[in-house]
Structure 1
Amino acid sequence: MADPTAQMGLHMGKSAFDAGQQYLESNMNRWVNVASLKHYFNVSNSYVVSKLRLVLFPWWHRPWSRTQHLSHNGGQDFGVYAPPREDINSPDMYIPLMALVTYILFSTLLAGLRRTFHPELFGLTATTALVVVFLEIAIIRLAMYLLSINNESQLLDLVAYSGYKFVGVILTLLLSEIANRGGGSGGWVGWGVFIYTFAANGFFLLRSLKYVLLPDTSPNTNSGQAYTASRSHRQRRTQFLFIYSFPLQFLFMWILTRDSVPTAVLTGSK
């Protein structure tokens, strides 16, 4: 016969876990729609490989428009974007999240290979990456307010697109380290790889975000998410699209790829 005390403890533990999970979900929904987030993690292995190829070699990709499925709700038909596993043009958050974690781990690994690793470096690298991410999200939020973009799905799309830069950053660090034989990300090779990955990322964002910031507003469109924007709004959004895709991405990618082992850390480790 099972111990009644153990059964009671197990029951109380399960009740506490369920209550905690319910509390967490209810509070998370205040800030973000968890159901909407699941859409961005609906990926497959083939999608991940194809998406990485697209991010690094976007030059000849056609078309850039996203696939929509016809949905029927409340007596009306409207378009719903297909999940990433069904559409390579759909943004996801799996690759950006994995790339962010890989960047932090890989940067500290390179420091270890150069024999400049210090425990504080891990925290500094993670802090730098997270500051870049949150700063970019803050810029996106401000831009959405100024450009009158109120759709939550568009915000999540922009957040997802902001993370693809880490793919190019990791490739830059890797190839530079190999070419420079542990000499860091400088030199002609380092700058050459950086310029290429920056240009590829900028071109990818420019073409992809066109359908987020400048959706089709023609009378023949069947998208329920398309909206009418005035000519002045479209001009401002076009300007933001260019500034975000190139000058801002150049700054953020340069910060992430520069040799950033702080002198104070190295001095303290001697």
Structure 2
Amino acid sequence: MYQNPPPAHSPPLHHPVPQHVSTVPQLRSPPPPQPPSQPQSGYGYGQQHGMPGQQGYGNIPPAFGGFINDPTAQLGFQMGKSAMNAGQEYVEQNFGRFVSVGALKHYFNVTNTYVVNKLWIVLFPWRHRPWSRQQRMTNNTQDVFYLPPREDINSPDMYIPIMALVTYILLSTLLAGLRGAFKPELLGYTTTQAISVMLLEILIIKLGTFLLNISSSSQLLDLVAYSGYKFVGVIISLLLTSLFSQFNFGGGWISWVVFIYCFNANAFFLLRSLRYVLLPESNPQGVGGGAAGYTSSRSQKSARTQFLFLYSYVIQLGFMFWLSRV
């Protein structure tokens, strides 16, 4: 369909090139940037860069806008880490004036097997043997120390008492809510009551260890750890009492039976466990050397025996009865 060229005297005519034979690409201006919320722009960007599976993420900038790689941000992270380390060191130095941090870590060195076996002994201590703690002697200093809880089932720990304390607070609040007596301030009241019992018992223990001339910090920590095992019996008593009351089984006498059993189990457990703390062996020098030494050791042992019975039965009975009345 092409026409013959015009005469030479006429100017040349320019005809458009047919589109079906054109191979020259057309230049276009780049499209305006699309917001990240539009999935089409992200999809196109991913396909152009060979990432077909990343739809909708093509136009997202680097994480936090490159804030992590900013030198100023890295300097801030280093300063925060230094401040945290300084604060931890300050707490350890000031807290170490009252309690040894290294000795406190000893009581949290537990395993799952230890926790299960310890709970069984606390609830069923009647046939457990032996009750004595295992010791080990260091090769360098020749000092004798007790094994941690993960290596000795008779070693006291603070993991179970703390977890039992928290469980008691939550369980008491839950049972109050099931009875329809839940109030917003009940959680704070229960927490205050439980912590008050712990503090009051620690004061009694501190007074008893002072009067009985027990000055070792490890023995004091042992007594503090043993004071928290009663929450295990209180939790079991609350659970079974609430369960039986829901089915109207046994009335109020079943709660007393469960409470008395949990109390006696806890008292027997403390009575056998605290013998090595409050009833040390008599001074060998007092046996053949001087009557005064033996008399002093015998009177001290009698006083510690009375304190052990008072603490295991009378004090624990009052505190467990107080905590069970929720």
> Structure 1 residue 25 and structure 2 residue 92: aligned?
yes
> Structure 1 residue 119 and structure 2 residue 215: aligned?
no
8 Å contact from structure 1 (residues 66, 87) kept in 2: yes
Give the match for residue 7 of structure 1: 74
Matched position secondary structure for 2:246: coil
Displacement, 1:14? 1.8
Where does the alignment leave 5 or more consecutive residues of structure 1 unmatched? 220-227, 260-270
Aligned ranges for residues 70-219 of structure 1 at < 5 Å? 70-74=137-141, 77-181=142-246, 187-217=252-282
Give the match for residue 247 of structure 1: 314
Report the TM-score, using the length of structure 2 for normalisation: 0.73
User: Bigger radius of gyration, 1 or 2?
Assistant: 2
**Bigger fraction of residues in helix:** 1
Q: 1-side partners of 2:169 and 2:313: how far apart? A: 23
Displacement, 1:182? 8.3
Q: 2-side partners of 1:79 and 1:215: how far apart? A: 15
Matched position secondary structure for 1:69: strand
Q: 1-side partners of 2:139 and 2:219: how far apart? A: 21
Q: 2-side partners of 1:111 and 1:140: how far apart? A: 31
CA deviations 1:124-178 (Å, max 9, x no partner) are 0000000000000000000011000011110000000000000000000000000
Matched position secondary structure for 1:163: coil
Q: Which amino acid aligns with 2:219?
A: Q
8 Å contact from structure 2 (residues 161, 231) kept in 1: yes
Where does the alignment leave 5 or more consecutive residues of structure 2 unmatched? 1-65, 285-293
Q: 2-side partners of 1:6 and 1:64: how far apart? A: 56
Cα pair distance change 1:124/1:33, threshold 3 Å? same
CA deviations 1:52-79 (Å, max 9, x no partner) are 00000001111111111122344xx342
- How many residues matched? 247
Q: 1-side partners of 2:209 and 2:314: how far apart? A: 18
8 Å contact from structure 2 (residues 240, 255) kept in 1: yes
| Selected match of 1:60 from 117, 127, 149 | 127
Percent identity over the alignment? 63
Q: 2-side partners of 1:245 and 1:85: how far apart? A: 25
Larger relative contact order (CA 8 Å, sep ≥ 6): 1
CA deviations 1:222-251 (Å, max 9, x no partner) are xxxxxx971111111000000000010000
Matched position secondary structure for 2:96: helix
Matched position secondary structure for 2:241: helix
Q: 2-side partners of 1:25 and 1:254: how far apart? A: 37
Q: 2-side partners of 1:22 and 1:147: how far apart? A: 34
